[in-house]
Structures are given as C-alpha cells and as structure tokens.
Amino acid sequence: MQKYMNLVNGKYVEPLTGKYFEDLNPADNTDIIGIFPRSGSDDIKNAVRSAKEAFPAWRDLPPPKRGDLIYKLGELLLKNQEKLAKIIVREMGKTLPESMGDIQSSADVAYFAAGEGRRMYGQTTYSAQFRKWAITKRVPVGVCGLITAWNAPMAIITWKLLPAVICGNTVVLKPSEDTPLTAHMFGELIKEAGFPDGVINIIYGMGPETGEALVKEKDVDLISFTGSTKVGRKISEECGRQMKKCSLELGGKNGLVVMDDADLNAAADAVARGAFSTAGQRCASTSRAFIHEEIYDDFLKLLIEETKKMKVGVGTDPNTKVCPIINKKQFTDIMGYIKGAKKDGATLLYGGNALTEGEFSKGYFIEPTIFENVDLYSKLAQEEIFGPVLAVFKINSLAEAIEKVNSVKYGLTASIFTSNMRNGLIAMEKFEVGCCYVNAPTFGSEPHMPFGGVKDSGNGQREPGTQSLDVFSEWKTIYLNYS
C-alpha cells in the first residue's frame, strides 16, 4: 500500500500526528488507492511557517516571472492530461471525458493566470494637488489557506491556487479527504515546473481537524474555500473574528425554466445532463426544472427518453453517463432525500433506487431520479442534494417561473430555454444568481470568466477570471509628490 506524505517547504514529510487515512475508489470500496496523512494543527503550523518564510522572495519576484512558472505548469498539466484524468476517474469516480475536462480547465486557468502576470493593471491618475501623481498597485495578501471540494478535484485547486500565486501570495492547500491523490499529483507537477520551495505546501487530513486548524491559524492571512454552505458559514464566522480575508464558493439549488416556445429537444438534453451527469455532484447541477404547462407532458416524455440514455456505471466504462456517488455518507444522504420526498407526497416519475447488485455491488450507485408534484417548500425542493435527483414543476408564466427559481436560499446558477429574446433578457435580469444561462444547461464556466453565486451560495467573491485578482490581492494607493 503506497503511503503519501505532506508537502512542506518542497519536501515530503510524515504527519506529526503519525496518523493516516485511506483514499478509496467510490466505484469499488475494496480498492484502496493509498494512505494519506491525517494531519493535525502542528502540521498546519509547520506548513504555514514554510509559506511565511517563502513569502518575501516570492512577493518580490516580478509577476511575469511568476507567470513563467505557472505557464510551465499548464504545459505539464496538458502533457499528463490522460494520466491525471485516469487518477480522477479512480479516486473521484467521474467518467474519463469529465475528468479530462477537469484537467483541461486546470491548464486553461494556468495559461490565463500566467497572462495575468503581464497585466495586473492599476491606475495612474491626477492628484488634486500640483506636481503629485496618484497611483494604485496590486499587492499580495500574504499566506493563503486554500480548502477544496472533491467534485472537480484538480480544477478547484487550480482555480484558487494559480490566481493566488500569480498575485505573489504563498499557499497552504488542504484538499478534500476524498481526492488527495489528485492533490499529490499537483504537488509533483509544481516541483517539476520549478516553483521555489515553500511557495506551495500541501497538507492532507480531515476537514474538522486539519481544515479547521488552517482556518484558525493566526499567520494565515486569507482563506479561500469551496464546499458546502454549512461549512462555509462556520469558516466565515472564524475569519470574521480574526478579521481575515475570506472567499467562499458554496452550494447551489439551481433551476432551469423551459418556456412553451423553447427547443424542447435541446432543453430535455440540457436538463438530463444538468441533473444526472457526474451523478448530480456539481455545485451547478440542475436540481429543479420549471416547465411551461402548454408543453409539460410533451417535455416530460422527451426528458424521460433522454434520462434513459443516462447509463449508470463505473467511470472507466466509456458508455457511463452517471458515475458513482463519492462516499457512503453522501450515498446515504441522497437516499434519505428520495425516501423523504416519497413520504412528503411527491410522485416518483423515474428511478429512485440504489443499485447494489453485480457491477454495482462494491460502490455507491443511484439511478437518475425524477419527482413531480413536489411541494416548492419541501426539503427536496429547497435543499442541495448533490446527487442525481431532479424535481419538476409546472408553471404557467415567465413571472411564476422566475419567482419559483428564486424561492431558495441559494443563488448559484439558473437557466432558461426559450426562442423569445425578451423572455431570455427578462430572466437574465431577474434570476437571483451569480451565473445565468440562456438556452444552455445550468453548468459550464470558462477560466477567464468569474464563477460564483449570490445569497447563500457565496460571500460576494469570484474565482477565477480577472476578478480573482481582487480576492488574492490588496490595493495599495501611492501618492508621489515631485513639487
């Protein structure tokens, strides 16, 4: 059994706790991928010290030079794309094309972040006084603690970490306990790219132990977190107490509207893929669909046809469209939502079962599941399930659809299918979300664009895009007097 170690100051080190945890394959829980450090607060302290010591030299390296290393990392990500994607398939469970996309997105953000090293523009303007310049300049924040989720294991790391380091910060990364090998591979690549020791440190462990210790550590100047709203709220409270900068990318309960003038085939394809690909384990998954009453029955027929094409299976099978669920806890939670919806009187239209026989016997698999006649304020319609479960609702107007899309505490993404530009523009204006789509699924983001949500889906920060520079840098204002 391969034992992996923390990466501190460029060296692999054992955890001071002496404890380890197993990294399991969600498609086959007899497949132990490796054992990883179950680190404690002293391990975090050492990593933070290393990041702090590396900070002055990294801060003083001109951003284009920092960008050269990030560019090289982008090249390495692409060179190793298939190998890395296969690790994601084994460790996280999603399909090979989805995993290849994860690495592609990471390389794209590397190229984008490298380019930012040659932009990073500030302002130069006139002072109100004679012979004085007024200038603004971006400066790094310091040591950044990065805490990531498992569902896009490389993309989420790079979306935070590369904007952080291009700005001149040094980092301590605490990846999800479900996908540590992807983080280890990232560590290998940053060594190969030639990043100086201590700029990027990786500490493995459990959220409430290792993650919490990172948030509490006084010498960490900023926390960037992607994960659930519940944990994000806790992190935000601690950062608030310490006056620590904090960026939160949190959960979603995303709605898609299908109007009576929509291309129904395209809409059915988008709803099925949005709800069931990656087994619904995306922050931007479609978990509610609002269908115009005029086309409701026709649309449901098409949706069920599309759903039948969503084959459940292991990520290594090229025919698989719906991968396993990440772990037993998540599997149990999703099945609890399905049971609860039946109890609450919702009508099961499709699926609803766990698959436990034959090829499914060693992993966590759930059929794509569709409910109708769902109470808008039930748990199924209000809470993030993070599984392959969709609730469909009948609506009779655009206004009703928008009100219902907005009826949740989350505000990550929303979409409308319509051939009427006016409907699309009104939805764009009225959806209470950070990312909105017209005639496209509720997911899909590009590295040069900001991604994030409003309401309980975030705290107003955006990663990646140029906007991520605002997360990972401070503005310094300079007055230059030559009178």
Q: Which residues bind ligand NDP (CB under 6 A)?
A: 147-151, 174, 176-178, 206-208, 211-212, 215, 226-228, 231, 234-235, 249-252, 283, 384, 386, 412, 451, 453
Of residues 250 and 374, the one with the C-beta less far from ligand NDP: 250
Q: Three-state secondary structure along 238-303?
A: HHHHHCCEEEEECCCCEEEEECCCCCHHHHHHHHHHHHHHHHHCCCCCEEEEEEEHHHHHHHHHHH
CB of 389 to ligand NDP, least distance (A): 14
Active site residue 283: yes
Nearer residue to ligand NDP within complex by CB, 207 or 444: 207
Q: How far is the CB of 95 from ligand NDP (least distance, A)?
A: 17
Closest CA to 463 of 248, 241, 295: 248
DSSP state for residue 207 in the 8-state scheme: I
Report the C-alpha gap between 54 and 287 in whole angstroms.
44
Alpha-carbon dihedral of residues 332, 176, 153, 408, nearest 10 degrees?
A: 60
Catalytic residue among 144, 239, 246, 283: 283
Q: How far is the CB of 463 from ligand NDP (least distance, A)?
A: 8
Which residues is 125 bridged to in the sheet? 134
Query: What residue number has its CB nearest to ligand NDP?
Result: 207
Nearer to ligand NDP, 91 or 249 (CB): 249
Surface-to-core class of residue 240, CB atoms within 10 Å of its CB (0-12 exposed, 13-18 middle, 19+ buried): exposed
Q: Which is nearer to ligand NDP, 213 or 268 (CB)?
A: 213
**Catalytically annotated residue among 177, 209, 249, 383:** 249
- Residue 47 Cβ vs ligand NDP, minimum distance, rounded to whole Å: 15
Q: Is 129 exposed, middle or buried (0-12, 13-18, 19+ CB in 10 A)?
A: exposed
* Rounded least distance, CB 168 to ligand NDP, Å: 24
Q: Which is nearer to ligand NDP, 199 or 231 (CB)?
A: 231
Listed in order, strand segments (DSSP E) in 16-95 are: 20-25, 28-37
Shortest gap between Cβ of 261 and ligand NDP (angstroms)?
31
Closest to ligand NDP by CB, 29 or 127 = 29
Residue type, 106: S
Asked if omega into 163 is within 30° of 0 (cis), the reply is: no
Residues 470 and 17: their CA atoms lie apart, in Å, by 36
- The distance of Cα 171 from the centroid of its chain, to the nearest Å, equals 18
> Which residues are designated catalytic?
249, 283
